[in-house]
Amino acid sequence: MPVSSTNKRDYYEVLGVGRSASDDDVKKAYRKLALQFHPDRNTEPDATDKFKEATEAYQVLADPEKRGMYDRYGHAAFERNGGGADFGNFAGINIEDIFESFFGAAGSRGTRQRVQRGQDLRYDLRLTLEEAAFGVEKDITSTKSVVCERCTGAGVEPGSEPVTCARCAGSGEIRRAQQSIFGQFVNVTLCDRCNGEGKVIPDPCTGCQGRGLVRGQRTLRVSIPPGADDGLQIRISGEGEAAPRGGIPGHLYVVLHVQPHRYFKRQGSDLMMEVPINVAQATLGTEFKVQGLDGKEINVKVPAGTQSGRIHRVKGEGVPHLRENGRGDLQVHLRVRIPTELTDEQRKLFKQLAATFGTTNVPSENKGFFDKVKDVFGG
């Protein structure tokens, strides 16, 4: 239902300009209000009404003929035929329309320079724990798009040249003028004939059918830094898919997959290994050697009375820190193995031992028992 002229504010008051305001003053005032009250930007309850009011005022004052009628007759100039002025459907106006109305479509100035970029590639590389921990160099081969040697990537037969696209006159853009409630604006799209390049190829290269690229293989050496871990990605710039017409090649991402080790597990920069010991060794204490990940022999001293699950930490015998000095530690997890099968002699010794528990003094006949246990179990 049209709003009665008695309830409408003066259009000059709505835009906040004087009656002698220039066209530029009217446009600037409306632009400010439209951006302030557009429903996409302002969620206040009265924002939509204010936006419509400002747009209606702008449509009248921005048109010389309508502005002249309004100056002479006010709002009544648009209500003589029993209906209010038709100012269009405001629901379809978006914030991009406002920017394009005042500033023109994005990229509409000058010729569009469309530089293509090749796709990124991924290569999954499997490593042993030793290779990841201490670093290694690996040769990898990837199949990808490479520049055609026949046309050196230009896409044309040797001796011929690309020609200017007749559809876009070499600009790479198609411009279409459209009329909106804000006035005329220009919509700019890529030329669908030359894909925005501004040139077409009349005589395509027979080696690549005009693409400038062919499928090929490339082998390169990848350096894995010490301390690399499972899932680490190494980016090699410019080794992805090539781009046509001298575009920017993509990147190659080498993703590391570290295989499980038979003896070691990794936790950050620490290495963990589990070593079983028997009850005699745990009770009396023992000393033995283990081999580290780098092959070095490491002495492990087990104190008497060691409980199962105790961790013996060897400083600096773990994995080198990634891109830092120093190494983590080696954690030797001691597991006391309880025998499930005993010889007659072992069973007899355990029975003698069991009889001693819970007493204050060890019977004289059991003196030297622990030495016998050590000899029997190899402690």
Would you write out the chain's pLDDT as a tens digit for each of its 379 residues? 334 455 688 999 999 999 888 988 889 898 888 888 887 677 788 888 888 898 888 988 988 888 888 888 787 777 644 444 444 444 444 554 555 455 444 444 444 455 678 899 999 999 999 999 999 999 999 899 999 989 888 888 998 888 999 888 888 888 887 766 666 677 788 888 887 888 888 899 999 988 889 999 999 999 999 999 999 999 999 999 998 777 889 999 999 999 999 999 999 999 999 999 999 999 999 999 999 999 999 999 999 999 999 999 999 999 999 988 999 999 999 999 998 899 999 899 989 888 888 654 545 555 455 555 555 555 5
Q: Which two tokens stand for residue 26?
A: 């009217």
CA distance 363 to 98: 102
CA distance 216 to 205: 17
CA distance 213 to 256: 29
CA distance 54 to 237: 52
Strand-pairing partners, residue 234, are 254
Query: 5-103 is classed in which CATH architecture?
Result: Orthogonal Bundle (1.10)
Q: What element of type H or E holds 52?
A: helix 47-61
Which pLDDT does position 112 carry in this prediction? Answer: 46
Q: Is 356 helix (H, G, I), strand (E, B) or coil?
A: helix
Classify domain 264-337 at the CATH superfamily level: Urease metallochaperone UreE, N-terminal domain (2.60.260.20)
The CA-atom distances, in angstroms, between 315 and each of 167, 299, 300, 366 are 73, 12, 12, 41
Tell me 320's DSSP state.
B
The CA-atom distances, in angstroms, between 82 and each of 53, 56, 89, 159 are 20, 18, 19, 73
Which pLDDT does position 159 carry in this prediction? Answer: 86
- Exposure of 176 in the CB half-sphere (CA atoms within 13 A): 8
Cβ burial 316-349 (10 Å sphere, 16+ → b, else e): ebbbbeeeeeebbbbbbebebeeeeeeeeeeeeb
Instruction: Indicate yes or no: pTM above 0.75.
Output: no
Q: Which two tokens stand for residue 171?
A: 């600009």
Dihedral of the alpha carbons of 229, 231, 236, 238, in degrees to the nearest 10: 180
Which pLDDT does position 299 carry in this prediction? Answer: 94
Would you tell me how many other CB atoms lie within 10 Å of the CB of residue 46?
Answer: 10
Q: Where are the beta strands (DSSP E) in 155-245?
A: 163-164, 173-180, 183-190, 199-200, 213-224, 233-236
For the chain, state the CA radius of gyration: 42
Phi, psi of 342 (to 5 degrees): -125, 145
Q: Is 281 helix (H, G, I), strand (E, B) or coil?
A: helix
Cα 43–chain centre separation: 32
CA distance 89 to 63: 18
Determine the angle formed by the axes of helices 47-61 and 23-37, rounding to 10 degrees.
160
Q: Which two tokens stand for residue 264?
A: 């070691």
CA distance 271 to 33: 66
CA distance 66 to 234: 66
Q: Which two tokens stand for residue 344?
A: 């007659």
Which pLDDT does position 117 carry in this prediction? Answer: 84
| Domain boundaries along the sequence of the chain | 5-103, 264-337, 344-377
Which pLDDT does position 74 carry in this prediction? Answer: 83
